[in-house]
């Protein structure tokens, strides 16, 4: 049996942010990550201006993220399109690049990191690993992203009767694609789903889609669904012409709208394990990083017993962004409503800016 005062489960943006903050405070901890090498997790790849502020507080400047700056949001519904400026500049980045930067920053700050370590289950504030080793901790920071850990899994009811799946394909690189997308983040709306597209630091574009299981079941396969959507949506078809056929990443049963409303002594839920905002808001990584900073700061100020206060406060702060994003998602996934609202957005683009601002979350001091 091993013991550590603070145990962080997961080395993605939430876990790495926690480790950086704890290391900067000189607090002993251990971060364990199941992957030996940094991969490219399924993710929209959009960092809002609020998230950039959080990263700066961790010592990562926007210039380190690469050249894919984002200045506008572009909405498509069928053949219709509307564009509006973002309140402030944002960024497109791959998870491989972001996670590499964050973990390197954590290591440089003195974080204790072990990779290639899989957690089989948790009991209280202890974790049993793949080799049978048990690690006990005073405080457990759950940063496993979309993947649940046995013993702390989110409720099945959060997934709903027609759960959402995440799909991701790579586009390009191509000068034509660069001209099509430019410095925008795009949202392509369709029945029972939507696709977001943003350029990344390596010249490719990331297409990340949220689609209800029923819609995918009707198509049969992800590639068939993409072909059907291309036939329905001319603007999306232009982008999909640059995809690599057959290379589709997927994650099942994403519980959009769920929040951890109750705190547990010694347990800090982070990122998607604390609240899952619909991906069209582009704030999933923002919540992950901000929650990691908040949790570490609360722990530094009040120890393991501060977890309940942290969780209640985070749940309160997430209520409006997640709720508003859910309402927008409900409209976006209904073509008739989306097409009717697009002209309104075109004539009053400040509404898009208001929604963009209202669905952000940043870090705060405890």
**What CATH number has the domain bearing residue 35?**
3.50.50.60
Tell me the pLDDT band of 279, cut-offs 50, 70 and 90: very high
The per-residue pLDDT for 339 is 78
In a domain, 311, yes or no: yes
Burial class (CB in 10 A: 0-12, 13-18, 19+), 161: exposed
Cα 65 to Cα 35: distance, rounded to the nearest angstrom: 22
Residue bearing the bigger pLDDT, 152 or 347:
152
Q: Model's pTM, two decimal places?
A: 0.95
Cα 208 to Cα 166: distance, rounded to the nearest angstrom: 7
In a domain, 79, yes or no: yes
Tell me the pLDDT band of 138, cut-offs 50, 70 and 90: very high
What pLDDT, in 10s, does the model give residues 45-74? 999 999 999 999 999 999 999 999 999 999
The per-residue pLDDT for 364 is 63
pLDDT (mean) for 272-278: 96
Cα 294 to Cα 296: distance, rounded to the nearest angstrom: 6
Percent of the chain with pLDDT over 70: 99
In a domain, 291, yes or no: yes
What pLDDT, in 10s, does the model give residues 9-31? 999 999 999 999 999 999 999 99
In a domain, 245, yes or no: no
The per-residue pLDDT for 365 is 55
pLDDT (mean) for 261-270: 95
In a domain, 215, yes or no: no
Percent of the chain with pLDDT over 90: 81
What pLDDT, in 10s, does the model give residues 308-331? 999 999 999 999 999 999 999 998
Check whether 192 has a pLDDT greater than 70.
Answer: yes
pLDDT (mean) for 283-304: 97
Check whether 345 has a pLDDT greater than 80.
Answer: no
| Phi/psi at 149 (5° precision) | -110, 130
In a domain, 197, yes or no: no
Domain that holds residue 98: 2-158+255-358
Check whether 160 has a pLDDT greater than 90.
Answer: no
In a domain, 300, yes or no: yes
In a domain, 172, yes or no: no
In the 8-state DSSP scheme, what is residue 283?
-
Number of domains making up the chain: 1
pLDDT (mean) for 220-232: 94
């Amino acid at each position: 049996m091993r013991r550590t005062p603070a145990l962080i489960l997961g080395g993605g943006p939430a876990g790495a942010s926690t480790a950086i903050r704890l290391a900067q405070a000189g607090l002993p901890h251990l971060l364990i990550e199941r992957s030996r090498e940094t991969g490219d997790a399924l993710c929209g790849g959009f960092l809002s201006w609020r998230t950039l502020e959080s990263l700066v507080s961790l010592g990562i400047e926007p210039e380190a993220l690469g050249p894919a700056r984002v200045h506008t949001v572009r909405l498509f519904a069928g053949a219709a399109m509307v564009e509006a400026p973002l309140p402030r500049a944002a960024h497109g980045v791959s998870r491989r690049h972001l996670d590499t930067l964050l973990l390197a920053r954590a290591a440089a700050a003195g974080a204790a990191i072990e990779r290639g370590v899989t957690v089989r289950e948790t009991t209280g504030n202890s974790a049993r690993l793949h080799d049978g080793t048990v690690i006990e901790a005073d405080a457990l920071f759950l940063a496993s992203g979309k993947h649940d850990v046995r013993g702390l899994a989110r409720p099945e009811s959060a997934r709903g009767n027609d759960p959402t799946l995440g799909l991701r394909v790579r586009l390009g690189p191509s000068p034509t694609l660069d001209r099509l997308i430019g410095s925008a983040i795009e949202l392509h709306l369709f029945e029972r789903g939507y696709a977001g597209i943003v350029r990344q630091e390596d010249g490719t574009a990331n297409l990340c889609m949220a689609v209800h299981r029923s819609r995918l079941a009707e198509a049969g396969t992800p590639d068939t669904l993409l072909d059907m959507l291309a036939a329905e949506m001319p603007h999306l078809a232009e982008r999909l012409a640059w995809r690599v056929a057959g290379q589709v990443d997927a994650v099942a049963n994403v519980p959009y709208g769920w929040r951890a409303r109750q705190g547990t002594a010694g347990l800090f839920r982070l990122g998607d394990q604390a609240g899952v905002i619909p991906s069209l808001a582009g704030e999933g990584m923002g919540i992950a990083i901000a929650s990691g900073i908040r949790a570490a700061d609360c722990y530094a100020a009040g120890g393991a017993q501060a977890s309940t206060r942290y969780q209640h406060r985070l749940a309160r702060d997430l209520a409006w962004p997640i709720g508003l994003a859910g309402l927008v998602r409900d409209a976006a996934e209904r073509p008739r409503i989306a097409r009717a609202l697009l002209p309104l957005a075109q004539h009053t683009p400040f509404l898009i800016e208001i929604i963009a601002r209202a669905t952000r979350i940043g870090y705060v001091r405890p």
